[in-house]
Amino acid sequence: TVKLPSSIKPDENKDDGDDDEEFPWCTVCNDNATKRCLECDELFCESCVKKIHRESGYKKHQIESYKPSATAKKKYHY
H or E stretch including 46? helix 46-53
Q: Where are the alpha helices (DSSP H) in 1-78?
A: 46-53, 70-76
Q: 72 pLDDT band (50/70/90 cuts)? A: confident
The CA-based diameter of the chain, rounded to the nearest angstrom, is: 61
Structure-model confidence comparison of residues 64 and 71, the more confident one: 64
Which residue ranges make up each domain of the chain?
A: 24-76
Q: What is d(CA 68, CA 45) in angstroms, rounded to the nearest whole number?
A: 12
The confidence score (pLDDT) of residue 60 equals: 93
- List Cβ neighbours of 73 (8 Å cut-off, separation of 6 or more): 24
Q: 6 pLDDT band (50/70/90 cuts)? A: low
The domain 24-76: what is its CATH number? Answer: 4.10.830.40
Give per-residue pLDDT as tens, 9-53. 655 555 444 545 788 999 999 999 999 999 999 999 999 999 999
Predicted model pTM: 0.66
